[in-house]
Amino acid sequence: MVKAVVAGAAGGIGQPLSLLLKLNPIVTELSLYDVVNAPGVAADLSHIPTPAQVSGFLPNTGSQGHKGPEEEKRGAVNALKGADIVVIPAGVPRKPGMTRDDLFINAGICATLAESIAEACPKAFILVISNPVNSTVPVFAEVLKKKGVFDPKRLFGVTTLDCLRASTFVASVVGEPTEASKYVIPVVGGHAGHTILPLLSQAKPSIPSSVLKDKSKRDALVHRIQFGGDEVVEAKAGTGSATLSMAQAGAEFADKVMRAAFKGETGLVAPSYVNLEADPSAAKTIQQEIGKDLAYFSVNVELGKEGIAKLNPVGKIDETETALLKKAVEDLEPSINKGVGFSPASK
Ligand code: NAD
Ligand code: LMR
C-alpha cells in the first residue's frame, strides 16, 4: 500500500502529474492538495479504473472564511496524513524576463508545506519541484530540521526535466531525433541557468567527437540544455512555464523512488539535487571534486529502500566541463545560502 500526495495538484504541472501517478500501479492511494480545485481534479481522476483511490483536499477555512497559514496547514495535514511520498509542484511559475530566483516568493509556500509534512508524514519521501529548486530544497530541509524530523536521505530536488531535455537535444544534434530515450546524460549541479551542468563527456552511448570537439556545436548544445526552460516560458508568452514535460519528469522520478523503496528494485540511479549529508563519505569526495564545501548539489543518486542509498561522485570530466563546473558552483552558492537563511517571518 503506497500513499502518494501531490501538493499543488490543481496547477499546470499538478494535474498531468496527478494523472500519471493515478496510472502508476504502485500507488494505491492518491491524495491531492491545492488551495483551489483539488476536489474537482480528484473527482475527475477517480473515474479511471486503476488501483489508486483518489481524494482531494483544500485548506480548511477559518472562522471568517479566511485561509491564512494556519488554515492552510490544517487542510494540508489532512491530505498528507500517512503519506509515503509527497510530490510538490505548488507555487508560482515564471513569466518571460524572470529568473527562477524571482520565484523566491514560493519559499513561504514551501515552508508551510514542510511544516505540514513534519506533522503529518515525517518519514515520507519529499520530491520538490517548486522553483527556485536551488533554494526551495534548503528551505524544506531547514524547516524539517527545526521540527526535528530532517532525514537528508528522503529529500529530493527534482532535476529530471534537465535530463529529459539533455536526451532530447543531444539526440537531435547527433541526427537521431527518434532515438532520444537511448541517450542518458548525467546532469549535475543545480536547476537554474549556469548551475545546470550536463556532463556530455559521460553520455551513454557516447556523443560523437564531431559534436563534442566542435566548440560552437557543443556550446550551443550546453546552452540549450541550461536554458531549455526559457524556451518554454517564451513560447507560452506569459501563461506559464513547462508543465507537461515536467509532469512526465516528476512522474518518472517518483516512479524510480517508489520502485526502489517499495518494490525493492536495485540499480536505480538518477540525478537529483540533494543535501550531501545524505551520504557523508561521498559528500567529502564530491566537495573535493567541485572545489567547495557546498551543502547541496545535484549528482547521480542511487535509490534504495530508505530513499538515497548512495551518492555517486561527479567523476571524470573534461576541460570544458571543468570550466562550466566553476561557474555552476559560483552561481549555486548564493542560492543555497538564500534558502538556508530563509525565515518564514521574513517572507
Ligand atoms: P501553476 O500556477 O499552474 O500551478 C501551481 C499550483 O500551486 C496552483 O494550482 C496553485 O493553486 C497551487 N498553490 C499555490 N499555493 C499553494 C499552497 N500554499 N499550497 C498548495 N498549493 C498551492 O504553476 P506550474 O506551472 O504548475 O508550476 C509550479 C511550480 O513548479 C513553479 O514554481 C515552477 O517554476 C516549478 N517548475 C519546476 C520545474 C523543475 O524542473 N523543477 C519545472 C517546471 C516548473
Ligand atoms: C523548467 O526548467 O522548465 C522549470 O524550472 C520552469 C522554468 O521556470 O523554466
pLDDT in tens, 182-228: 999 999 999 999 999 999 999 999 999 999 999 999 999 999 999 99
Q: Which of 70-79, 162-171, 236-245 has the lowest mean pLDDT?
A: 70-79
Residue 133 Cβ < 6 Å to ligand 1 = yes
Q: Which atom of ligand 2 is nearest to the CA of 161?
A: 2
Q: How confident is the model at residue 345 (pLDDT cuts 50, 70, 90)?
A: low
Q: Please indicate if the annotation marks 261 as binding a ligand.
A: no
100 close to ligand 2 (CB < 6 Angstrom): yes
Mean pLDDT, the chain, rounded, equals 96
Within the chain, strands assigned E span: 3-7, 29-33, 53-57, 85-88, 125-128, 155-157, 187-189, 196-198, 269-275, 296-304, 307-311
pLDDT at residue 308 is higher than 60: yes
Q: Would you call 71 helix, strand, or coil by DSSP?
A: helix
Question: Sorting pLDDT into bands at 50, 70 and 90, what band is 112?
Answer: very high
Residue 50 has pLDDT above 80, yes or no: yes
C-alpha–C-alpha distance, residues 273 and 158, integer Å: 7
DSSP 95-135: -TT--GGGGTTHHHHHHHHHHHHHHH-TTSEEEE-SS-HHH
End-to-end CA distance of the chain: 37
Catalytic site positions: 191
153 CA distance to ligand 1 centroid (A)? Answer: 24
Ligand nearest to the CA of 231: 2
By the 8 A CB rule, do 22 and 54 touch? yes
CB 110 near ligand 1, within 6 Å: no
Is 162 within 8 Å of 187 (Cβ atoms)?
yes
Report the atom number in ligand 2 closest to the C-alpha of 230. Answer: 9
Instruction: Report whether residue 8 contacts ligand 1, using a CB cutoff of 6 Å.
Output: yes
Q: Is the dihedral of CA 263, 264, 270, 275 positive or negative?
A: positive
Upstream peptide bond of 39 is cis (omega within 30 degrees of 0): no
Q: Is 154 annotated as a binding residue?
A: no
Does residue 328 have a pLDDT over 50? yes
Which one, of 90, 146, 140, lies nearest residue 275 by Cα? 140
Q: How many CB atoms lie within 10 A of CB 323?
A: 11
331, three cell numbers:
552561481
Kindly indicate the confidence band of residue 67, based on its pLDDT and cuts at 50, 70 and 90. Answer: confident
- pLDDT, mean of residues 256-263: 98
With a cut of 60, say whether residue 235 has pLDDT above it: yes
Residue 214 CA to residue 308 CA, distance in Å, equals 37
Is the pLDDT at 168 greater than 80? The verdict is yes
Could you tell me if 190 and 294 are in contact, meaning their C-beta atoms sit under 8 angstroms apart? no
Strands annotated E in 204-306: 269-275, 296-304
pLDDT tops 50 at residue 347: no
Q: What is the pTM of this model?
A: 0.97
What's the gap in Å between 91 CA and the centre of ligand 1?
Answer: 4
Cis check: omega of the bond before 198, within 30 degrees of 0 = no
In the predicted model, is pLDDT for residue 130 greater than 70?
yes
Residues 86 and 128: their CA atoms lie apart, in Å, by 8
Nearest-angstrom CA–CA distance, 185 and 168: 10
Contact assessment for residue 282 and residue 276, using Cβ atoms and an 8 Å cutoff: yes
Q: Hey, which of 131, 137, 160 would you mutate to test ligand 1's pocket, going by the most ligand atoms within 8 Å of its Cβ?
A: 131
- How many Cα neighbours within 13 Å face the side chain of 103? 27
Contact between residue 26 and residue 2 where contact means Cβ atoms under 8 Å apart: yes
337 is in an annotated binding site: no
Secondary structure percentages of the chain, helix, strand, coil, to 5? 50, 15, 35
Confidence of residue 63 (pLDDT cuts 50, 70, 90): low
Does 178 score more than 90 pLDDT? Answer: yes
The CA distance from 118 to 121, in Å, is 6
